[in-house]
Amino acid sequence: MKITHALGCALFTVIFFTSGCINKTEKDNSKTKEIVKIENIEKTHSQSQATPPLIIYKTKADYYYNVPVTLSCDKQRIIGYPHPSDLNIGGKFVYPTRLTGGYLLDNRGISKDVAFLEYTYEEYSKLEKIPNPDDLFWKILDKDPLIGFCICGSRLEYDGNIKTLNTIIMNGFEDCDCN
């Protein structure tokens, strides 16, 4: 039940934050209208949009213990961040899984617009109240931490075999959608 809940939360987070950005354009009578354009709807994989993606990523620095947040496309505000209790499931922190070559398997539901906070999972999980995103913004270590981000099928199809993921990396992410 807890795994299903965790996958459901991760699925919602990933779909919501990777569906695209909002472009503000078009003026009418001195009032700005927001035109919502969803980008990146079409995927190269045949999996359903309703399944959480299997994300393999690499960062410029070691942010393994740091809390991920989602930034707006212009990187000027935080649009998604976890509740302090979301980082600890079943008594264990939901760290990424280390893979070959410094790559990581996402276990939190990050997007390509990820940033990492100064807070470690342990520090953040001890916060007594939900942080304000404006306050968290000043705790960002790097607004552009990724040097690699690949979607390699569906998380539901992953059988837990780290060797398989390492082979995907060593083969140059053939069959993956890398940005």
Neighbours of 134 (CB within 10 A): 9
What is the domain partition of the chain in residue ranges? 2-24+34-178
- Residue 56, SS3? strand
Secondary structure element (H or E) that encloses residue 5, with its range: helix 2-18
pLDDT for res 50: 76
Predicted confidence band of residue 151 (pLDDT cuts 50, 70, 90): very high
pLDDT greater than 70 at residue 23: no
pLDDT in tens, 121-134: 999 999 999 999 99
pLDDT in tens, 57-71: 999 999 999 999 999
Tell me how far CA of residue 2 lies from CA of 8, 13, 33, 167, in angstroms. Answer: 10, 16, 42, 30
Distance CA 53, CA 78 (A): 22
Region 40-55: what's the mean pLDDT?
Answer: 60
pLDDT greater than 50 at residue 13: no
pLDDT for res 49: 58
Region 29-55: what's the mean pLDDT?
Answer: 49
pLDDT greater than 60 at residue 140: yes
pLDDT greater than 50 at residue 114: yes
